[in-house]
Structure 1
């Protein structure tokens, strides 16, 4: 028996069309997704590691051996410290030698045991200074003497600076310092460091008036430096000691 072949059933035809549409949609999607699936992220570049710092030598350097010797101590030699009378005026002649010091000027102090000292500053290392309490005019003639005062037209004893006629300690400071005791120049037949017609007054007794004790008060006289003086006379042993630092 012959079977007639007719058209497919409508429902089957719809199935085929739907399957074909789905296939048409899936194929392009698959083609588009394929590059994305096969692609890989670009490689990242990491910075190279920092080089390790070179090791440092922490050992302290070995000190160089030294043969250090302390500088020699400054010294002073007091060659001359001599009172003299010249033209009836009193003077002090001095001369010092120094070593191992940069000092080039001297300070001479007449030490007052009961009051202010008398100080001459910025003196050369050798010279002549007028005795404190004395005065001279422009020609060098004396006009005043320690221990005397001109009152009422005559010279009378003056206790205010009579200590300058007594044995007195004189200090010479350059760096270091030297000291010695000197006396007021005595009168001689050719020279008298006293007012005209007057002789050396007697030394003041303990009951006579003296300068008041003024503590650190110092009477400073300008240094009166003469030329270098070379003479014999009293040679005083040097007092050597280390200079005091200020």
Structure 2
């Protein structure tokens, strides 16, 4: 990793911190390749149970780096699809499909591609000054990284239309109210600390149940109830014979918190 991306593992939580402060954590393909590598490394690390993503400086991410966006004008459509969105869409895919729960801690703005990445996470922790901004139509484009699919399922069709088609900002309190974020931190100064506690809670839960639940929830986005009944029953049968369920029963009987 370079100085643009800071990573550490503490108490079974992998912290991935954007550190391109001079660009308000603007994205370029080379940087996103590092982010993808860091997420995959955390996903493959048996010491890691949850992943937290946040940014240094005033913003989570301002989206595509402004200098880089100018470079796109001279690229062919094939180059944009293959080289640019291979990383921009790739990082959202990596967040959504990794086996471990991902918490996006939104300091300041999550704009454009930064908003799409935040929406790809399993949970979002915000403060009152945090905001989500799908600004794509304001610059003559659309959100191509997953938000067009995921947002209506999070907040409903009409709210998603306002956020996308009218490029409306959604600030922290409203984000929690409409289901776009999970937890509101009253004090901006404590945002990262509280975000870490949120991730720490996930890290203390059954890793096998977390993995299966994440797959099942992702499948439910475009599956059928009959299909998910069958899938969930098969997975439940495996979990009931696994070590985590037995450990939970022992803990209940002993009136203590289970250790996985």
- TM-score using structure 2 length: 0.22
Q: Quick check: which has more Rg, 1 or 2?
A: 1
Task: Name the structure with the higher strand share.
Answer: 1
Task: Name the structure with the higher helix share.
Answer: 2
Give the structure, 1 or 2, with the largest relative contact order (CA under 8 Å, sep 6 or more): 1
- TM-score using structure 1 length: 0.23
